[in-house]
């Protein structure tokens, strides 16, 4: 499977399905710096960083754009090349399971007119980013991207716009359009996973329908595109802090929390605030797909991912029932279930992980519309080979994502560590 489609395995499809559970949700919380949990009585220790530090951005898990829980957000500033004109966009989803920045054309004022990216022949470049149940469509543009005090210059980004050219049927046939903030449940996507570009060599070597297109007027045709022209993860272009990220979120007590504040730290072992912990388990991942192996209750999941953009832990099992329709994308055991799994990296490192799964429908009803749900899990959209360690895995942990070909204290990426 080529990287482009795998990068979107579960997160947004499942988040949108969860709207059945969150129809009554509204408003939004979250607050300033440092790690915190609101509406709770306990809290995990904050990491040894300050959100005022140049390489640290504040993450908030709050009601966001559409009231979907377990979605971590940051603010991103998008500028014309040279930073003559800029726009800051809040509630951009932090996604360790994809690569590249995606924002909406409707959020960029006329003063932030980004130059069009082209293919080698000079054709205007557009992209269809596929999810399991849908897609985003729009042009590829060149922007300066700033997060906290870090800046990537002249970066290819996707500007989501359903009115750009005409959406090819090879894109629209992949599912429902997610071309508005409400449909996507976020104001954009910040893909900061373990790869530099969102499709890689597969799209550079051949034209693949449903990925990149060259457009003339309203007509668009699939095109091969060099990696340097593809939508890019901004992190490896941040200079000294460009070898990876740390997603640090406090623990959430069993049940739920109104909101959570944590940190997105750029760099691994590059500053005094981003050291790789001596106890961290470094899980090597496949250099083409970013996956590793999880074993749980005798089942082997060879396509596992660590994915902050997923709203739950998603894996297929017969150990507990799914919720009744329309919430069948989540599990609803009669009582909270305890599980133990083992993650095995491509480097041979194995790590035991204990986790709990609660009754998603009951938790939501009792929460009063909370934003952080650490016990959410489900079978939604997951093939039998995938264990998706979504946002509940991140609560109470520092999770490291080391970028391919970048040197770190834990070795060269790609890897995850925690």
Q: Which residues pair with 134 in a beta bridge?
A: 176
- Give the SS3 label for residue 330: coil
Neighbours of 344 (CB within 10 A): 18
- Alpha helices in 43-197, H assignment, sequence order: 169-172, 181-184
HSE (CB half, 13 Å, CA atoms) of 400? 32
With contact defined as beta carbons under 8 Å apart, do 406 and 236 qualify? yes
Domain parsing of the chain, residue ranges: 3-240, 273-417
Q: What is the pTM of this model?
A: 0.90
3-state DSSP helix/strand/coil % of the chain, to nearest 5: 10, 35, 50
Whether domain 3-240 has CATH 2.40.70: the reply is: yes
Q: CA 361, CA 327: separation in Å to the nearest integer? A: 7
pLDDT, one tens digit for every residue, the chain (418 residues): 334 433 333 343 343 334 434 332 222 222 233 566 665 323 334 444 444 689 999 999 999 999 999 999 999 999 999 989 999 999 999 999 999 999 999 999 999 999 999 999 999 999 999 876 689 999 999 999 999 999 999 999 999 999 999 999 999 999 899 999 999 999 999 999 999 999 999 999 999 999 999 999 999 999 999 999 999 999 999 999 999 999 999 999 878 999 999 999 999 999 999 999 999 999 999 999 999 999 999 999 999 999 999 999 999 999 999 999 999 999 999 999 999 999 999 999 999 999 999 999 999 999 988 999 999 999 977 789 999 999 999 999 999 999 999 999 999 999 999 9
- CA proximity to 236, closest of 200, 267, 198: 267
* CA atoms of 413 and 418, how far apart (whole Å): 14
């Amino acid at each position: 499977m080529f990287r482009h489609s795998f990068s979107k395995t579960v997160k947004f499809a499942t988040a949108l399905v969860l709207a059945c559970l969150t129809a009554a949700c509204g408003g939004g919380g979250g607050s300033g710096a440092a790690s915190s949990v609101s509406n709770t009585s306990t809290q995990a220790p904050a990491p040894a960083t300050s959100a005022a530090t140049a390489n640290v951005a504040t993450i908030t898990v709050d009601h966001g754009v559409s009231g979907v829980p377990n979605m971590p957000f940051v603010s991103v500033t998008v500028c014309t090349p040279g930073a003559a004109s800029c726009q800051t966009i809040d509630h951009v989803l932090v996604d360790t399971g994809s690569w590249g920045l995606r924002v909406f054309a409707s959020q960029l004022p006329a003063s932030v007119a980004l130059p069009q990216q082209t293919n080698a022949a000079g054709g205007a470049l557009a992209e269809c980013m596929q999810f399991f149940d849908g897609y985003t469509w729009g042009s590829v543009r060149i922007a300066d991207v700033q997060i906290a005090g870090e800046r990537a210059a002249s970066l290819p980004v996707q500007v989501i716009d359903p009115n750009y050219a005409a959406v090819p049927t090879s894109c629209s046939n992949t599912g429902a359009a997610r071309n508005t903030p409400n449909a996507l449940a976020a104001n954009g996507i910040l893909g900061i996973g373990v790869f530099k570009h969102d499709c890689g060599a597969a799209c550079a070597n051949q034209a693949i329908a449903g990925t990149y297109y060259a457009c003339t007027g309203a007509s668009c045709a699939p095109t091969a595109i060099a990696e340097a022209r593809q939508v890019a993860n901004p992190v490896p272009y941040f200079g000294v802090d460009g070898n990876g990220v740390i997603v640090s979120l406090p623990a959430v007590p069993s049940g739920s929390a109104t909101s959570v504040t944590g940190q997105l730290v750029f760099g691994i072992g590059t500053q005094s605030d981003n050291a790789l912990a001596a106890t961290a388990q470094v899980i090597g991942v496949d250099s083409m797909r970013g996956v590793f192996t999880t074993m749980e209750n005798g089942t082997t999941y060879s396509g596992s991912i660590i994915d902050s953009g997923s709203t739950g832990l998603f894996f297929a099992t017969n150990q507990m029932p799914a919720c009744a329709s329309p919430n069948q994308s989540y599990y609803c055991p009669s009582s909270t279930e305890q599980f133990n799994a083992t993650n095995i990296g491509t480097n041979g490192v194995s790590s035991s992980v204990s986790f709990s799964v609660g009754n998603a429908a009951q938790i939501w009803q009792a929460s009063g519309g909370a934003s952080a749900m650490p016990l959410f899990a489900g079978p939604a959209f997951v093939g039998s080979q995938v264990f998706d360690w979504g946002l509940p895995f991140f609560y109470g942990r520092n999770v490291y994502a080391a970028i391919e070909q970048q040197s770190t204290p834990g070795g060269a990426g790609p890897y995850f560590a925690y």
